[in-house]
Amino acid sequence: MATQFITAVGRRKTAIATVRMIPAEKASVVVNGKTAKEYFKTSERAKVAEEALATAESAEHYAVVAHVEGGGVAAQADALRHAISRAIIKAEPNTRKILKAAKFLMRDPRAKERKKPGLKKARKRPQWSKR
């Protein structure tokens, strides 16, 4: 018998999180083979990653296995929250309103601005010299 699982993808900046959510008796969040607290090292980042499960009140019903790559730690945590939110909606469509109100379903469009020619960074100019 094949195990039923729900897949979803979440993104933030250049970070991409792929999630498999499995109905389970004991809840757990595993990121790249480690627990969320081990992977993100700070409790704030781990809390952000698991925030969608807590908001939807389905934290104890699912085991989450995630693969995260790209970006930084903060972007990865936000991407994971986005992916878990999408997976929860597939499993329990009635939680959409709650997650949407918390803004977990919206993909954050902010990204780094490109560097322009003649400038040091996107907007930083070289120091002006009179002579």
pLDDT tens track for 70-125: 999 999 999 999 999 999 999 999 999 999 999 999 999 999 999 999 999 999 99
Count the domains in the chain: 1
Q: Taking the complete model, does pTM exceed 0.85, yes or no? A: yes
Does 126 reside within a domain?
no
In the chain, the amino acid numbered 43 is S
Tokens 């980042």 found at: 45
Element (H or E) spanning 37, and its range? Answer: helix 36-40
How large is the angle between the packed helices 73-91 and 43-55, nearest 10 degrees? 20
**CATH code, domain with 65:** 3.30.230.10
Tally the C-alpha atoms within 13 A of residue 82's C-alpha that lie toward its C-beta: 20
Domain span including residue 72 = 6-101
Q: For residue 97, give every residue at least 6 positions away whose Cβ sits within 8 Å of its Cβ, in sequence order, or none.
A: none
Does 58 reside within a domain?
yes
Tokens 């018998």 found at: 1
Does 129 reside within a domain?
no
The secondary structure of residue 24, as a DSSP letter, is -
pLDDT tens track for 31-79: 999 999 999 999 999 999 989 998 988 767 889 999 999 999 999 999 9
